[in-house]
Amino acid sequence: MSEGCDGNSARLNVAAFLENSAIYGPGNRFVIWFQGCSLRCEGCWNKELWPFEDNLLFTPCDILEKIRETKGIEGVTFLGGEPLDQAENLLILAKMLKSDGYSIMLYTGYAEPEISGTVKEDVFSMSDIVVSGRYVEGLRSVYLKWRGSLNQNISFNSDIYRDFEDSIDKRENDVEIHIDETGEITIAGYPEPDDLEAILYGKDSQ
Ligand code: SF4
């Protein structure tokens, strides 16, 4: 059992991990996509993450252990799916991460007033940065840092990332390419089709 873990047998339903990313929040971050979303935004890019069927089940201690084993990580980013649809167990993990000194960034489709007084709000409040609100296809923009559509809000709940508030509206359509030891290529982020062609084939996208 990991030091500091209380052995809680709660399970989190995870779709995928990305152990080291620089595009889902400040610094190098351990990224977790959670399985299951009840919100079902039109135009969602991650429909395969909507079902709540068990995917990869981990205890909060299992996940903490993975994060501790990853060098150079300053924080953890929760993505979905909808992380707050697993809020009770996610709160256990969030508390463990905070006591280990990691920052937390949360992406949620819930707007803050919808979750007032719930355990979802507890996870929201504990996160240093929160991108919140439904994805609205008609308001999609690639000129937003960290957000997919213009209606989404960014909350800075602690002071550690205040410097980012000033640059938040500059164009930051970041894309990452990961190549694993088997040569498999994964593209993280949401490149425009022309940008993707330029990345893959070296063509000028202008
Ligand atoms: S909250 Fe996120 S995962 Fe869920 S439907 Fe909306 S965009 Fe998709």
Ligand 1 neighbourhood includes 148 CB (under 6 angstroms): no
Distance from C-alpha of 155 to C-alpha of 130, rounded to nearest angstrom: 5
| Model pLDDT, residue 206 | 42
**Has residue 68 been placed in a domain?**
yes
For a mutational test of ligand 1's pocket, the pick from 13, 40, 41, 48, i.e. the residue with the most ligand atoms closer than 8 A to its C-beta, is: 41
Per-residue pLDDT tens over the stretch 133-163: 999 999 988 778 888 888 999 999 999 998 8
Ligand 1 neighbourhood includes 49 CB (under 6 angstroms): yes
The structure tokens 């595009």 sit at: 23
Domain count, the chain: 1
**Has residue 108 been placed in a domain?**
yes
Ligand 1 neighbourhood includes 147 CB (under 6 angstroms): no
Domain of residue 90, CATH code: 3.20.20.70
Domain boundaries, position 26: 12-173
Instruction: Kindly report the protein residue whose alpha carbon is nearest to atom 5 of ligand 1.
Output: 40
Per-residue pLDDT tens over the stretch 163-203: 888 777 665 566 677 666 666 666 666 666 566 566 556 65
| Model pLDDT, residue 62 | 96
**Has residue 96 been placed in a domain?**
yes
Distance from C-alpha of 156 to C-alpha of 61, rounded to nearest angstrom: 27
Residue 190: name the closest of 175, 172, 206 by CA.
175
What does 41-85 look like in DSSP terms, one character per residue? Answer: -TT-S-GGG---S--EEE-HHHHHHHHHHSTT--EEEEESS-GGG
Q: Using the predicted structure, report yes or no on whether residue 122 has a pLDDT greater than 90.
A: yes
| Model pLDDT, residue 205 | 43
Centre of ligand 1 from the C-alpha of residue 179, in Å:
26
| Model pLDDT, residue 27 | 94
**Has residue 182 been placed in a domain?**
no
- Cβ atoms within 10 Å of 156's Cβ, excluding its own: 16
Distance from C-alpha of 135 to C-alpha of 205, rounded to nearest angstrom: 26
Is the separation of the CB atoms in 33 and 81 below 8 Å? yes
Ligand 1 neighbourhood includes 41 CB (under 6 angstroms): yes
pTM across the whole model: 0.85
**Has residue 54 been placed in a domain?**
yes
**Has residue 84 been placed in a domain?**
yes
Centre of ligand 1 from the C-alpha of residue 36, in Å:
9
**Has residue 128 been placed in a domain?**
yes
Q: Give the CA distances from residue 62 to residues 59, 77, 91, 183, in Å, rounded to whole numbers and listed in that order.
A: 5, 16, 15, 27
Per-residue pLDDT tens over the stretch 46-90: 999 999 999 999 999 999 999 999 999 999 999 999 999 999 999
**Has residue 165 been placed in a domain?**
yes
